[in-house]
Amino acid sequence: MAQTTRIKERQAAQAQRIKQAQAFMVPDNIDVAILGGGAAGLCAAITAAEALGANKRVVIFEKALESGRTILATGGGRCNFTNADLSFENFSHPKFVQAVCKDKDTFLADILAFFRFSGLAWATEDEGRMYPLTRQASSIQSLLLRRAQKAGVQFALGREVISVNPQHNGFTVTFQECFAGEKTHKVHASSVVLATGGLTTTKLAESLNLQTTSLRPGLCALTCTPEPPASLDGKRVRAQAALLRDGAVLKQESGELLLRSFGLSGIMIFNLSRTALPGDVLEIDLLPQLTEEEVAAAVEAHTTDGLLDPQIAAYLSVSNSVEATVAKAHKIAFTVTGTSAKVVPQVCVGGISVEQVSTDTLEARSIPGLFIAGEALDIDAQCGGFNLSWAWKSGMVAGLAAAKSAGQNCESLKEDN
């Protein structure tokens, strides 16, 4: 009965979202069009709308029927929205990120000022991870949506942008209504912020002759051979891992390892997944804090279940060989075969090449008035709030620059008329 009630409630909520989306009429002329209503898109829209002020049109185009929905899945639903130490080595293309964000203290200060003004209170946990005081990602989403609405941002939900064509003093943006048989419409935008992710970014970038790097899942679980036995599925252990390619160590991580029947997961593996390719080897040390002599003493005394989960200890045990058991405890090798579809990736690695974008404004060098933020760029980072930090900051930079560009285009249009 309870499950039936929940299903009906979800269906009613979805029907209401469709009704609200259908009721919104997209303006024919827009000052700033934001493509993508995720973390970067919301920040860009808020910044642009607050900079432009009243009587200006900032519109978010979002394929889904809810803006900011992707935020809800971050940080295990708690939203690790930034980190107290935003060191640039945690990001791909660290020099580019530093050029955009200036220094790590300014980077953090800008993010915290934005959220303090939005009404957020937060707390700092281990390794500098910062969360809303509620420990609920929905708090971040709600505050951003409220601030966006107060600033006058309009939401074109259930609309997927299929092309952006540069024109005199702006762009023609073509979109289709996902709830109306894919009916297409065209509008004019003075400036555009591209804050989409995944294949949508690739399609739009290719149509604009912008170079992209290949996309692949990042911060995700890895499939491997041999697969851990089913008896260990869900078991966690603090461990250390080295990622090797052709015998050379590429990267090392330490932290929580989550054993799954299909492969390996956990924050440590998520961070390595940004680099790992099929054929690479993961060497896992399950007892990095202990010497071989200490492990051997535990094996001989039959007390390894005091060091590890009893089932993991049993998995390590090699009959009649203390030496082999010790070696296995310090090095189990797994060959990476791919990424797992059973765990949703937290980021997408790849995107529009950073060389094509100004570090001052995030404007595409070859297309004046087009700004690129968030996952649309080839920027990704480790777990710990770094990816969201880039989304917030790049959204602010692109949104402010897009507002200035839109203002200039509006003045040019007046002169032409």
> CA separation (Å) from 15 to 133, 194, 301, 321, 416?
32, 28, 64, 64, 44
Residue 313 near residue 298 (C-beta atoms within 8 A): no
Query: How do residues 342-357 score in pLDDT, each as one tens digit?
Result: 777 788 889 999 999 9
Residue 334 near residue 225 (C-beta atoms within 8 A): yes
* Contacts of 294 by beta carbon, 8 Å cutoff, 6+ apart: none
- Mean pLDDT across the chain: 92
Residue 348: helix, strand or coil by DSSP?
strand
The residue among 151, 82, 78 whose CA lies nearest residue 112 is 82
User: Residue 223 — φ and ψ, nearest 5°?
Assistant: -85, 150
Residue 373 near residue 395 (C-beta atoms within 8 A): yes
Confidence at residue 20, expressed as pLDDT on a 0 to 100 scale: 86
Q: Which CATH number describes the domain made up of 23-217+346-416? A: 3.50.50.60
Amino acid identity, residue 6? R
Confidence at residue 1, expressed as pLDDT on a 0 to 100 scale: 64
Does position 415 have pLDDT exceeding 50, yes or no?
no
CA–CA separation, 140 and 146 (whole Å) = 10
Domain boundaries, the chain: 23-217+346-416, 222-339
Rounded to 10 degrees, the C-alpha dihedral 134/135/136/137 comes to 120
Question: What is the pTM (predicted TM-score) of this model?
Answer: 0.88
User: Residue 105 — φ and ψ, nearest 5°?
Assistant: -70, -40
Q: How far is CA 194 from the centre of its chain?
A: 15
Confidence at residue 113, expressed as pLDDT on a 0 to 100 scale: 98
Does position 372 have pLDDT exceeding 90, yes or no?
yes
Confidence at residue 410, expressed as pLDDT on a 0 to 100 scale: 53
Give the pair of three-digit tokens for residue 109.
């200060």
| Percent of the chain predicted with pLDDT > 90 | 76
Sheet arrangement for strand 129-132: 82-83, 129-132, 122-124
Query: How do residues 56-97 score in pLDDT, each as one tens digit?
Result: 999 999 999 999 999 998 888 999 999 999 999 999 999 999
For residues 286-292, average pLDDT: 93
Give, for 83, the enclosing helix (H) or strand (E): strand 82-83
Query: How do residues 147-202 score in pLDDT, each as one tens digit?
Result: 999 999 999 999 999 999 999 889 999 999 987 776 899 999 999 999 998 889 99
User: Residue 179 — φ and ψ, nearest 5°?
Assistant: -100, 5
Give the pair of three-digit tokens for residue 327.
């070696």
b vs e for 126-161, b when ≥16 Cβ sit within 10 Å of the residue's Cβ? eebbbbbebebbebbbbbbbebbeebbbbbbbbbbb
pLDDT band for position 413 (50/70/90)? very low
